[in-house]
Copies of this chain bind each other. A is one copy, B any other.
Amino acid sequence: MIVVLKPGLTPEEIQRVVKRIEGFGLRAHISVGKERTIIGAIGDERLLVDQGLESFPGVEKVLPILKPYKLVGREFQKEDTLIEVCGRQIGGKRIHIMAGPCSVESREQVLAAAIPVKEAGATFIRGGAFKPRTSPYTFQGLGEEGLNYLAHARQITGLPIITEVLDPRDLDVVCRYTDIVQIGARNMQNFKLLTEAGRAQKPVMLKRGMSATIQEFLLSAEYIAAEGNRKIILCERGIRTYETETRNTLDLSAVPVLKRLSHLPVFVDPSHGTGRWDLVGPMALAGIAAGADGLLIEVHPNPEEALSDGPQSLKPKKFAILMEQIRRVAQAIGREV
């Protein structure tokens, strides 16, 4: 960490800063320049994060040198993390497509989505039983009943399932049913939930918060990893910007950035990322081309009657066509579906 001092300090004032740094167990290396004196704080600079050094008398600014996360970082582990889920390997050459309805609405609806997505080549079924909804007056999900329908669909299709958890108190019941636990964008900084998910030892799909920086995203993953659970999948799902043509702005450059900074698999959710079914196709292909390890795609047997997110859901027939295109683009970049 570099500490830039204000101009014109006395040697005593400089020594106070040095002592503060040394008090955290780091070594201070002073470098006197023509316009500024700077101090290099050498050692584990994570100990200085949020310690208010910026407000210390005489300090002008503080520049970090190292990343604030560790376990999820590429420096800690050079090789890509591979996650085994029911005999499928996530993070390797093979790209995984997880598809299904936004909300679980009924036993029939899940099946009517699950069967055709399996036929088209999806390898996981997604569906929400606990739904985070902006308004208290809209459908909040079926809860455990919905988890049952998902388990039924798994039994029929043989595909593993992924579903979201909202509340630490629901984690046990969700883990009893699901193969991958999803933590949604709104809960990316629900640190209690992250900690509990870290303890639960199920694979976790962590979605990027609506306005989370990549560094905050990785720090949230670090919360899970710090509890001993390294089976984490990162998912880019669109960030909030001023543009209103799309519900969010899908930040596909996050894919290669995350792959460079971290060893964890990275997915893309073009359905939430755009909020429009007619953009899901192009953005799914673009996500693959950008290097994603998989996609989360909403498929509904009858989007016009969906209880949530109909506008961004594909019909099974369109999904099957998209799967063909995904296959070709994956091949073009040396991967497979």
Contact = CB atoms under 8 A, between A and B. Distances in A.
Interface string A29-71: 1010111101010110010011110111100000101101100
Interface stretch (A87-95, A111-119, A246-254): A246-254
B245 A213 contact: yes
Which of A31, A134, A244, A325 has most B Cβ within 10 Å?
Answer: A134
A332 B252 CA distance: 19
A219 B304 contact: no
A214 interface: yes
Interface in A276-297: 277-279, 282-283, 285-291
A285 B289 contact: yes
Contact of A274 (B136, B140, B222, B253): B253
Interface string A74-110: 0100000000000000000000000000000000000
Nearest to A274: B253
Interface in A198-222: 210-211, 213-216, 219, 222
A133 interface: yes
B243 A308 contact: no
A190 B191 contact: no
Contacts of A304: 20, 52, 55-57
Interface string A263-282: 00000000001100111001
A35 B66 contact: yes
A195 B190 CA distance: 16
A136 to B, nearest CB: 5
A274 B54 CA distance: 14
A313 interface: yes
Contacts of A243: 213-214, 239, 251, 254
Interface stretch (A121-129, A145-153, A156-164, A166-174): A166-174
Contact of A277 (B55, B219, B222): B55
Given A243-B254, A256-B282, A285-B333, 20 more contacts: A29-B31, A50-B309, A56-B304, A68-B134, A136-B219, A136-B226, A168-B169, A210-B211, A214-B245, A215-B245, A239-B241, A241-B251, A246-B257, A253-B282, A255-B282, A282-B289, A285-B290, A286-B286, A329-B333, A331-B332
23 contacts: A7-B75, A33-B40, A35-B66, A49-B138, A50-B139, A52-B311, A55-B303, A55-B311, A55-B313, A57-B304, A68-B135, A68-B137, A140-B191, A187-B190, A249-B251, A252-B252, A252-B283, A256-B282, A285-B290, A285-B333, A286-B286, A288-B289, A289-B289
Task: Give 5 closest A-B pairs by Cβ, nearest first.
Answer: A52-B310, A211-B211, A289-B289, A332-B332, A285-B289
Interface of A: 2, 4, 7, 20, 29, 31, 33-36, 38, 40, 42-43, 46, 49-52, 54-57, 63, 65-66, 68-69, 75, 132-140, 166-169, 186-187, 189-192, 195, 210-211, 213-216, 219, 222-223, 226, 239-246, 249-257, 260, 273-274, 277-279, 282-283, 285-291, 303-313, 325, 328-329, 331-333
